[in-house]
Chain A
């Protein structure tokens, strides 16, 4: 069962990467906030239709949900604002890779302590080793991207 969820999450990442290229192309002409707004409004409109016909929950009950759960929307929007601040100062590559380190470490910490009422999965040796491999991989990607940039500067 969980192998399907793992593959689905991999596909989620693939879509996210495609989204960042698509939005990158759009935002170079229209602007960053404009691009984010378009993503949210078109996503909301499409999802509204899907929920109308296939929703099994109760959308309006979000009004009764605890405020800390509703606050999740600020984290998604917060990501956007933080990256908008960081990219001009340290570059898009360093921003993305730093964000990934934060994302992975926080994910493991949330599991370890069972924060936000989710399941508890201890941060064992295997998970630490996995995190270490990820860090090495990110370092390699950073080096490769820096070399690519140097080459492009030399060419131009």
Chain B
């Protein structure tokens, strides 16, 4: 049974690459920034509907939350726009590889330093070896 959920998680990753590849094509025709904007506008509509029916939390927390917790959208638009511009130039494989390396190494630093409300966990030697392997793999495909 658990295998099914591993497969769903794998599929989740697949959707990220497909998303990037298609938005790169859309960006060539309607414009890069416009392609990102399309994603955020229509995504808002879809999630708004989902929220109406399945929302269990409290959106009103937005007013009380510390301001840094509200920056997810800003980070998201920069990320997607970089991909829309970059994928036509270096391909999906290399773009996704560098995204993943940036993401995993940054997560290690965030945890090690205890930034952004994360519990402070000292980085283990296995993770440093992993980071070296990942950077090596980027050099291989570059």
Seen from chain A, the residues whose Cβ lies within 8 Å of a Cβ on chain B are 1-3, 5-27, 29-48, 50-51, 54-59, 61-62, 65, 68-79, 82-83, 85-86, 89-90, 94-96, 98-108, 110-111, 115-119, 121, 126-127, 129-131, 133-134, 136-138, 140-141, 143-144, 147-148
* Contact across chains for B62 and A30 when beta carbons are under 8 A apart: yes
Give the residues in chain A near B17, CB-CB below 8 Å: 102-104, 106-107, 110
For residues 51 through 90 of chain B, which have their beta carbon under 8 Å from a beta carbon of chain A?
51, 54-59, 61-62, 65, 68-79, 82-83, 85-90
Distance between B56 CB and nearest chain A CB, rounded to angstroms = 6
* Contact across chains for B24 and A118 when beta carbons are under 8 A apart: yes
Q: Which of A2, A76, A118, A133 contacts B19 (CB 8 A)?
A: A76
- 23 residue pairs from A and B, CB less than 8 Å apart: A5-B90, A6-B98, A12-B78, A12-B79, A13-B99, A13-B102, A15-B79, A18-B75, A38-B73, A41-B44, A43-B40, A44-B43, A46-B73, A72-B18, A76-B19, A82-B15, A95-B12, A101-B10, A106-B17, A107-B97, A118-B88, A130-B138, A137-B133
Q: Is the interface of B mostly helix, strand, loop or mixed?
A: helix
Give the residues in chain B near A137, CB-CB below 8 Å: 104, 129-131, 133-134, 137
Contact with A along B10-26 (1 / 0, CB 8 A): 11111111111111111
Distance between B10 CB and nearest chain A CB, rounded to angstroms = 4
Distance between A123 CB and nearest chain B CB, rounded to angstroms = 8
